[in-house]
């Protein structure tokens, strides 16, 4: 007779609580700058077009800035904006000494290339870590500004004391903003990383090997409970709307009792991503104004 499977106590990550405690540290750092007579950091956010989800994201990011005493400026351009007009706005922001970080909200209208735009942002003001120079520095292990979601994931793993040295890490999704950079960061922390994508054979079998499983596909509940190795750490980055409900890439209920740690689709990686945007902007501010420590 096979023994009954041991049910594991699954800890659900409190991404919001963690984000709030880091934001408190950031708020104190900015307060320190102001007390020293310096201006606060400023993030410029650019929104092109009328995508309603993007407008909500921008609002959330600006609110997060305000709550820690960081300035933000919003630049809205119509859907029909030519790429050249957006490039001149970016050039203006690059040369503005009062702007420390620049974020261009994605997705952009089809006529504008996100790669051309990413390349136009001053790498020292690249709060979202999307400039190719920063991506290259990430490979070299010398980047100050790294994409926000991967940074947020690493922060969760560290603050929950997840051992990465020698761990089998499986990342599903190879986007430039999540999958690729997080796989580099994990590899730099001495995890053995497998990067999966839509052509991966036997994805479930690969996932079952993972001590740390990171899902970033946008495919709702794709990762089933029996894809998870008992005791694994599961980071669910995906956010999809299904029947008016926000769901992740992982079948959350099935992961209960199997995973040791899991991030929920709400209040998980999302608040950490915004927090890393704030932290990147503070880094950029310090580097440019030579302020703080």
Binding interface with ligand NDP (CB under 6 A) = 149, 172-175, 177-179, 196-200, 203, 216-219, 222, 237-240, 269-270, 273
Residue 45 vs 99, nearer CB to ligand NDP? 45
Q: In terms of CB distance, is 203 or 228 closer to ligand NDP?
A: 203
The least CB distance from residue 98 to ligand NDP, in Å, is 28
Shortest distance in whole angstroms from residue 92 CB to ligand NDP: 27
**22 versus 177: smaller Cβ distance to ligand NDP:** 177
Give CA–CA dist 99/7, Å, rounded: 51
* Pairwise CA distance, residues 113 & 125, whole Å: 19
Which two three-digit tokens encode residue 117?
A: 């735009």
* From 71, 100, 124, 128, the catalytic residue: 128
Shortest CB 263 distance to ligand NDP, Å:
9
CB of 106 to ligand NDP, least distance (A): 8
Q: Of residues 100, 105, 122, 124, which has the active-site annotation?
A: 105
Query: Which of 14, 61, 100, 229 is an active site residue?
Result: 61
**Smaller CB separation from ligand NDP, 167 or 215:** 215
Identify whether 256 is a catalytic site residue.
Answer: no
Query: Which lies closer to ligand NDP via its Cβ, residue 61 or residue 125?
Result: 61
Shortest reach from residue 173's CB to ligand NDP, in Å: 3
The reply to whether 61 belongs to the active site is yes
Distances (CA, A) of 204 to 134, 191, 209, 210, 227: 33, 20, 9, 10, 5
105 annotated active-site: yes
- Catalytic residue set: 61, 105, 128
């Amino acid at each position: 007779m096979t023994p009954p499977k041991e049910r594991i106590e699954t800890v659900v990550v409190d991404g919001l609580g963690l984000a709030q405690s880091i934001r408190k540290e950031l708020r104190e750092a900015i307060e320190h700058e102001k007390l020293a007579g310096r201006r606060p950091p400023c993030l410029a956010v650019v929104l092109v077009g009328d995508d309603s989800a993007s407008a909500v994201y921008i609002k959330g990011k600006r609110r997060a800035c305000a709550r820690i005493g960081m300035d933000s400026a919003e630049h809205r351009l119509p859907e029909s904006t030519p790429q050249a007009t957006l490039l001149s706005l970016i050039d203006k922001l690059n040369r503005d000494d009062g702007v420390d970080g620049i974020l261009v909200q994605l997705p952009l209208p089809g006529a504008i290339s996100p790669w051309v735009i990413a390349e136009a942002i001053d790498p020292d003001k690249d709060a979202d870590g999307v400039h190719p120079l920063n991506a290259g520095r990430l490979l070299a292990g010398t980047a100050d500004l790294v994409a926000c979601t991967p940074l947020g994931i690493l922060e969760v793993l560290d603050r929950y004391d997840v051992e990465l040295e020698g761990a089998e890490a499986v990342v599903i999704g190879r986007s430039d903003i999540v999958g690729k950079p997080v796989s580099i960061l994990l590899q730099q922390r001495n995890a053995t990383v497998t990067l999966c994508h839509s052509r991966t054979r036997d994805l479930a079998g690969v996932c079952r090997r993972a001590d740390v499983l990171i899902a970033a596909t946008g495919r709702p509940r794709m990762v089933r409970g029996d894809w998870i190795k008992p005791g694994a750490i599961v980071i669910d980055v995906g956010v999809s709307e299904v029947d008016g409900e926000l769901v992740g890439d992982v079948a959350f209920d099935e992961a209960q009792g199997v995973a040791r740690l899991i991030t929920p689709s709400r209040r998980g990686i999302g608040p950490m991503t915004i927090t890393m945007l704030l932290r990147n902007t503070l880094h950029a501010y310090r580097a440019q104004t030579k302020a703080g420590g």
